[in-house]
């Protein structure tokens, strides 16, 4: 339906979102600008920047907050989350990937598994302390800074990532990309140390800004997705556009930053900016709390 244009739908498989005619008239560019304009209005009504980290999130698209919780609170939430992860592994040993690329969700009584290539994403239902963490006011304020809307605290879960580093089935999230065409937020609260070997979050500072160069790049990617569709190929029709480091430099953006962190570190990012999962060694894992905050109504001033 034509209403898909006014939704979160980013797939160029869609008849209207991927319409060659409408995109020749600037549909993709118009959707991005309309979503950003609505976000700016919502944010102006919802929140004003108060802290250094909120300013950094606004300016760079990412902020890193070490020692986020007091030591005793961190110890309690870590032990509770670790018990939940151990119980999930005992109930359901780590599976092997069934296919290449973006895998289907495999639901279990404790949560779900999903593969990105050969990398396993294990999302475990929130325990009481994890639920409490998801209700923290700092997270809600940052959600409003990125999207202009409050975050749903029920999105918070325990997130375990296990890498196999299989060259024949590479991790599709290890390529630089932006998640969708409008501002969305993700956060990771790391419960264990993340080194280079663990595949740290890597983010291009300032790549969330809607510059002329970025808009031109977006439009060129949309046209390539439509050309691939007309040729019967997949291309970037899913709408989570990939970008190379050479292209990042051509857009005048700074070098990507890999965020290796100590336990008890919170990272919040606007995932309209370019980011990726770092190249991990096989058998390594990351344990964190995680939430994905993507507004359901990016073009509207009210609603979620």
pLDDT in tens, 185-231: 999 999 999 999 999 999 999 999 999 999 999 999 999 999 988 88
Q: What is the per-residue pLDDT across 144-182, written as a single tens digit (0 to 9) for each? A: 999 999 999 999 999 999 998 888 899 999 999 999 999
Q: Confidence band (pLDDT; 50, 70, 90) for 234?
A: low
Contacts of 277 (CB under 8 A, 6+ apart): 116, 119, 161, 171, 173, 174, 199, 201, 202
Residue 237 has pLDDT above 60, yes or no: no
Report the phi/psi class of residue 111: left, alpha or beta, with left for phi > 0 and alpha for psi in -120 to 50: left
Q: Confidence band (pLDDT; 50, 70, 90) for 235?
A: low
Q: Confidence band (pLDDT; 50, 70, 90) for 236?
A: low
DSSP annotation string for 112-135: EEEEETTEEEEEEPPPHHHHHHHT
Domain ranges (residues) in the chain: 11-293
Q: Which of these ranges, 131-145, 189-203, 289-303, has the smallest mean pLDDT?
A: 289-303
Alpha-carbon distances of 257 from 43, 71, 136, 220, rounded to whole Å: 27, 27, 27, 25
Distance of alpha carbon 106 from its chain centroid, rounded?
20
Residue 143 has pLDDT above 90, yes or no: yes
Determine what percent of the chain is predicted with pLDDT higher than 70: 98
| pLDDT for the residue numbered 233 | 72
List the structure tokens of 276. Answer: 């990726």
Q: Which of these ranges, 49-63, 149-163, 262-276, 290-304, has the smallest mean pLDDT?
A: 290-304
Domain 11-293 maps to which CATH number in 2.60.120.620, 3.30.530.20, 2.60.40.4070, 3.10.129.10? 2.60.120.620
- Specify which residues 257 forms β-bridges with: 203
Q: Model's pTM, two decimal places?
A: 0.95
């Amino acid at each position: 339906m034509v209403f898909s244009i006014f939704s979160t739908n980013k797939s160029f498989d869609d008849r209207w979102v991927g319409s060659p005619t409408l995109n020749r008239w600037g549909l993709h560019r118009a959707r991005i600008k309309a979503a950003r304009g609505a976000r700016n209005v919502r944010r102006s009504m919802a929140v004003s920047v108060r802290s250094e980290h909120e300013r950094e999130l606004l300016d760079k698209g990412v902020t890193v907050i070490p020692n986020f919780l007091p030591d005793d609170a961190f110890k309690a939430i870590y032990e509770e989350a670790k018990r939940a992860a151990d119980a999930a592994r005992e109930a359901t040993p780590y599976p092997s990937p069934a296919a290449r690329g973006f895998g289907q969700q495999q639901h279990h009584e404790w949560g779900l598994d999903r593969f990105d290539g050969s990398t396993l994403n294990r999302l475990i239902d929130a325990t009481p302390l994890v639920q409490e963490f998801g209700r923290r006011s700092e997270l809600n304020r940052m959600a409003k800074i990125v999207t202009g809307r409050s975050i749903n605290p029920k999105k918070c879960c325990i997130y375990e990532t296990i890498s196999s580093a299989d060259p024949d089935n590479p991790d599709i999230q290890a390529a630089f990309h932006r998640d969708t065409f409008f501002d969305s937020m993700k956060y990771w609260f790391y419960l264990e140390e993340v080194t280079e070997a663990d595949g740290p979050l890597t983010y291009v500072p300032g790549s969330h800004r809607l510059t002329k160069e970025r808009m031109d790049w977006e439009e060129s990617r949309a046209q390539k997705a439509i050309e691939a569709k007309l040729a019967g190929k997949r291309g970037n029709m899913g709408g989570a556009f990939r970008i190379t480091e050479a292209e990042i430099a051509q857009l005048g953006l700074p070098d990507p930053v890999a965020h290796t962190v100590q336990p008890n570190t919170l990272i919040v990012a606007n995932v309209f900016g370019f980011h990726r999962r770092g190249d991990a060694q096989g058998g390594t894992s990351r344990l964190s709390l995680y939430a994905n905050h993507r507004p359901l109504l990016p073009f509207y001033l009210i609603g979620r």
